[in-house]
Homo-oligomer: A and B are copies of this chain.
Amino acid sequence: MTTKAPIGFCGLGAMGMGMATHLVKSGHQVKGFDLYPPSLQRFEAAGGNPSPSLLNSAADMPFYIVMVATAVQAQSALFGTAGEEGIVHKLPQGAVLLLCSTVPASYAVSVERELKEIGRGDVFFIDSPVSGGAFRAADGTLSIMAGGRTASLEKGMWLLKAMSAPKKLFIVKGGIGAGSNMKMAHQVLAAIQILVTGEAYGFAARLGLDADSVRKEIVEGEAWSWMVEDRGRRVIAGLEAWRPGVSALTIILKDTSIITSSARLCNFPVPMASAAEQVYFSGLSQGFGSEDDAGMVRVYYPGPVADVKCDLDKETKAAKLKLVVDMLIGIYVCATAESIAFAQQVNLPLDQLHELAVDAAGGSHVFRDVGAQMIKGLTGDVSAWSGSGKRLDDVAQGLSEAANEAQSLKCPAFLTNAALSMLTLAKRTGEKDASAASVVKVWKS
């Protein structure tokens, strides 16, 4: 039954449309619903079965996927609003329900509780946010982070597998909420590393560096990260690539707010993600919300960075490129620390976070190396605080020089300075010749 079972689906946005049409192509009957009629038409054109109403999309469906944008939307779709019924009132006995939206773990937990309260404890609920973008959604090669009861995961496994790449389905221990927490820990990296792309390219433009040289230096060197490579392309392409763009500022802002609001709930410090969030809010105020998040570079440098021509001699240019690299490294170290420390705070398996993020949108060479050392240290091997790899003093010194130069150029450097404060706190409490990985102890203190 299960392999070609009918599936209900709501939320046919960029991601949801890809996921739903991929399931259609794989031979499933998918009844999809969206409040936006053109999406329903596109879905029908792609071979899907458009549903005339939300409730109709759930009736008699043994499997159901929710892929709306926010927890607020999910709540009204699932449980109804203003006296109207929701999806859960129509699902058949023993249905499998996947919540794939990015939501706070506390919200996923509340769904499980409310299902029981209204007598639908029979529903096999899975907390399974996804990552990977619209192309991988349409390919069925997403990363999925799934948590839930064992029975639910067993029943939903074929569907999770149908949408994810072979090694990108992560079953996260910890039940409902664990999937969302894993996604959140990953998004700490994404939230910071999207903004640092603008901070680095804006700083580089003020330094008089041409964007192509900056890109080459970053992409081929130790300052590589998935985000800086991906968003850097659109930072350089400029305004035309931002309207409408690939990933709207409002999307990463929503995920960033999940991080900071969850952190407040558990009394955990997230100085890096919350600095990023405030800058995103200020971009929103300036009208950048619906545009690509790469457009945040305008906060740092008003003109097109691609217009900067470099006329520096080779040595000066190399020294300035090093400042950009050192800025990135310092921020990556703190982003890595914040992600891993927060993951430990919410009891996630750190090795799994590392495996997942190193090869996803949050990945960076620093996360790969320094992150691995942080995890060693946090899981009991104290040699990580002094052992090999980058030195705390070197990373702090490089970042301090970048901050100094940004200041003299009157360039805002929000993440640079937030990271410098954390590295400085680490230096004050740390031992001599401490490793860069040891900065994570400031978050955990």
Is A2 interfacial (CB 8 A cutoff)? Answer: no
With beta carbons under 8 angstroms apart, the residue of B267, B274, B279, B417 that contacts A277 is: B417
Contacts of A113 in B (CB 8 A): none
User: Which of A144-152, A228-236, A406-414 lies at the binding interface?
Assistant: A406-414
Copies in the complex: 2
Alpha-carbon distance A139/B417, docked complex (angstroms): 39
Closest to A202 in B: B285
Is A79 interfacial (CB 8 A cutoff)? Answer: no
Q: Residue-by-residue, is A267-285 near B (CB-CB < 8 Å gives 1, otherwise 0)?
A: 1111100110111011011
From known contacts A274-B417, A275-B275, A421-B270, infer whether A281 and B427 are also in contact, taking CB-CB under 8 Å: no
Q: How far is the CB of A207 from chain B (nearest CB, A)?
A: 15
Is A420 interfacial (CB 8 A cutoff)? Answer: yes
Q: How far is the CB of A234 from chain B (nearest CB, A)?
A: 21
Q: Residue-by-residue, is A151-178 near B (CB-CB < 8 Å gives 1, otherwise 0)?
A: 0000000000000000000000000000
Alpha-carbon distance A442/B426, docked complex (angstroms): 11
With beta carbons under 8 angstroms apart, the residue of B264, B414, B420, B424 that contacts A420 is: B264
The answer to whether B417 and A268 have CB atoms under 8 Å apart is no
Is A115 interfacial (CB 8 A cutoff)? Answer: no
With beta carbons under 8 angstroms apart, the residue of B267, B300, B428 that contacts A269 is: B428
- CB contact list, A283-319 vs B, under 8 A: 284-285, 299-300, 302
Is A403 interfacial (CB 8 A cutoff)? Answer: yes
With beta carbons under 8 angstroms apart, the residue of B278, B300, B412 that contacts A413 is: B278
Alpha-carbon distance A274/B416, docked complex (angstroms): 10
The answer to whether B445 and A428 have CB atoms under 8 Å apart is yes
The answer to whether A282 and B418 have CB atoms under 8 Å apart is no
The answer to whether B442 and A425 have CB atoms under 8 Å apart is yes
With beta carbons under 8 angstroms apart, the residue of B410, B414, B442 that contacts A284 is: B410
The answer to whether A400 and B274 have CB atoms under 8 Å apart is no
Alpha-carbon distance A187/B342, docked complex (angstroms): 34
Q: How far is the CB of A143 from chain B (nearest CB, A)?
A: 27
From known contacts A417-B278, A445-B429, infer whether A285 and B299 are also in contact, taking CB-CB under 8 Å: yes
The answer to whether B428 and A267 have CB atoms under 8 Å apart is yes
Contacts of A400 in B (CB 8 A): 264
Q: How far is the CB of A420 from chain B (nearest CB, A)?
A: 7
Q: Residue-by-residue, is A378-412 near B (CB-CB < 8 Å gives 1, otherwise 0)?
A: 00000000000000000000001001100100111
Q: How far is the CB of A284 from chain B (nearest CB, A)?
A: 6
The answer to whether B425 and A278 have CB atoms under 8 Å apart is no
With beta carbons under 8 angstroms apart, the residue of B267, B299, B300, B403 that contacts A427 is: B267
Q: How far is the CB of A361 from chain B (nearest CB, A)?
A: 23
Can you report 10 A-B residue pairs in the complex whose CB atoms are below 8 A from each other? A261-B404, A263-B424, A264-B403, A264-B420, A271-B417, A274-B418, A278-B412, A279-B412, A285-B299, A425-B445
What are the nearest 10 A-B pairs in CB distance?
Answer: A271-B421, A281-B412, A274-B417, A269-B424, A282-B412, A269-B421, A278-B412, A278-B414, A264-B400, A429-B445
